[in-house]
Amino acid sequence: MPFIHQRVDIGYADLPCETGEKGRNYVTPQGKKYPSITTVLSILSRQKIMEWRKRVGEEEANAISRAAAGRGTSVHTLVEKYLNNEPIDESAMPNAKAAFRSLQPILDAHVGKIFIQEAPLYSDHLQVAGRCDLVAEFDGKISIVDIKTSKRAKDASEISSYFMQEAAYAIMFEERTGIPVTNLVTVMSVDFADPIIFREKRDNWTKSLRETIARYQSEQIHT
């Protein structure tokens, strides 16, 4: 059965994006510049990433990062086309297609009405912005749905930044549309294993989200 789309108007077609040394910023229709939520949350993993890069070496780290980013982008594109009821690009890399095929039964079984896909959102309240994968019914409940790829299975304690990111999207979406979203869903494809579904509640993550945003803003003032 084709996926049903009930597009929600967020008030604009897109948000200009600027990328610099300090990360990505979006420009709102009012001309305000807000950092990407992924840039903000990157401060949580900064130390671990620095240690990892030092351990494996810059050249190897760059190669691994490029490969992971490329695969993630390809999987997102395949999922987006599938949810748009478009033919799948069979020329995609085999690892990306394998990840998508593992996700396909989950999309078929759980995703209902689709409201937005790959949509740029922002929040004047939080003063952040970002591009949300999907807002849709998941098991009949309107949810922020985020697609992730991973080389290994992870547990919830390792991906708190994902839940904060999704909570931010929920707040952004409500500001832009007036529609509250309290359910957060992470669908993670895992190499050579079954995908994992994580379900969370927005309100369990807003406090840590605001604290991380405040920390990021403080760092910008003092640098």
pLDDT computed for residue 90 by the predictor: 78
pLDDT computed for residue 88 by the predictor: 82
Alpha-helix residue ranges (DSSP H) falling in 84-205: 94-110, 160-177
Q: What distance in Å separates the CA atoms of residue 208 and residue 83, rounded to the nearest whole number?
A: 32
Cβ neighbours, 10 Å, residue 125:
11
pLDDT computed for residue 93 by the predictor: 80
Q: What is the CA radius of gyration of the chain?
A: 17
The model's pTM: 0.91
Q: What distance in Å separates the CA atoms of residue 41 and residue 149, rounded to the nearest whole number?
A: 18
Q: Which domains does the chain have, with CATH numbers?
A: 17-221 (3.90.320)
pLDDT computed for residue 175 by the predictor: 97
Comparing CA positions, the residue from 182, 161, 158, 162 lying closest to residue 171 is 182
- Give the C-alpha distances (Å, rounded to integers) separating 223 from 43, 144, 150, 213: 14, 33, 33, 16
pLDDT computed for residue 168 by the predictor: 98
Contact 34, 122 (CB under 8 A): yes
User: Would you give per-residue pLDDT tens digits along the chain (223 residues)?
Assistant: 799 999 999 999 999 999 887 789 999 999 999 999 999 999 886 666 665 566 767 676 566 556 666 667 888 899 999 999 998 877 778 888 899 999 999 999 999 999 999 999 999 999 999 999 999 999 999 999 999 999 899 999 999 999 999 999 999 999 999 999 999 999 999 988 999 999 999 999 999 999 999 999 998 876 6
pLDDT computed for residue 50 by the predictor: 62
Contact 137, 111 (CB under 8 A): yes
pLDDT computed for residue 49 by the predictor: 60
pLDDT computed for residue 45 by the predictor: 66
Residue 122 dihedral angles phi and psi, to the nearest 5° = -150, 160
Q: What distance in Å separates the CA atoms of residue 206 and residue 84, rounded to the nearest whole number?
A: 31
